[in-house]
Amino acid sequence: MSDQSPIAVLPEIDALKRAVAGKSYWRRVGEQLLRDRLTLSVMLLLSVIIIMVLAAPLFATHDPTVGSVLKRLKSPGYPGHWLGTDEVGRDLWSRILYAGRYSLLCGVLPVLLALLIGGVLGLSAGYFGGTTNSIIMRSMDVLYAFPSILLAVAICGMLGSGIGNTILALTITFIPPLVRISETVTTQVRAFEFVEAARASGARPLSIMHFHILNNVLGPILVYATSLISISIILAAGLSFLGLGVTPPDTEWGLMLNNLRQAIWVNPLVAALPGAMIFITSMCFNLMSDGLRGAMDVRM
């Protein structure tokens, strides 16, 4: 028999149980995702798109800024241009790859910034409640009074076009919904017994929010943020289509749609290619969000 008494071993057993319990949730999330073939397929396709876009110089077959008047609006399969050419004879495959950099940047970065800002504000509003909650949530209600696209258009209209202003406008647009979802789940977790026990033990608010609340609300917030990426890509494309987003010589899928809109009567397949990339990428993020939601559902 061991010389250690059961009383001495008990704290070690409790610590081990807590460590295993903490890891088991994320392990089960991973196992659930591995069983979800649709989500895995979508994540694989999305990974391929991201890698090819980020490594555009390796996969592009032509200089995306060089065109030829003699090769205007060639259909897919044209020799040397397997996706055809645009309105000034530039290779569409290369243009789509380079434009995807700005589309993904405008899709992911605003959501990340809004997640950081909105998450902090939502956690603070949900945990402290009272006056803090009223100030933060009523401020968000002011922004909620405007539809997302109109708010983004208004901000870009005031600040001017450009990728920096587009990212800023989309970030401001996504802060209110992320604040609301963060505040809702934090308010629910705040009433749990382990949070009350931590508060009664004298733990500081920042410590409670970091160690006891954040881990329990991070899943729903991340799932919701993932669903916003597809909306961000579509809004960024809409702003560029209206001339309020990315401006030449840079390019983006929405800007390509704007440039090719007259070509729809001449070569509709070529004109639809940038829109197809917006649709495919947005659907991938939406389906991935649905898969994460199912995998992170504690009731599963």
Which domains, and CATH codes, for the chain? 36-296 (1.10.3720.10)
Judge contact between 157 and 168, C-beta under 8 A. no
Name the 3-class secondary structure at 33.
Answer: helix
Residue numbers in the chain where pLDDT is lower than 70: 1-24, 297-300
Give the pLDDT of residue 11.
Answer: 44
Render pLDDT for 105-147 as a digit per residue (tens, 0 to 9).
Answer: 999 999 999 999 999 999 999 989 889 999 999 999 988 888 8
CA distances from 101 to 72, 107, 148, 149, 282 (A): 24, 10, 23, 22, 14
- The alpha-carbon radius of gyration of the chain (Å, integer) is 24
Give the pLDDT of residue 137.
Answer: 93
| pTM assigned to the model | 0.86
Give the pLDDT of residue 1.
Answer: 42
Neighbour-count burial for 190-228, b at 16+ CB within 10 Å, e otherwise: beeeebeebeeeebeeeebbeebbeebbebbbbbbbbbb
Q: 91: which strand partners?
A: 85
Phi, psi dihedrals of residue 129, rounded to the nearest 5°: 60, -160
CA distances from 146 to 151, 157, 205 (A): 6, 15, 33
Render pLDDT for 23-51 as a digit per residue (tens, 0 to 9).
Answer: 567 788 788 888 888 999 999 999 999 99
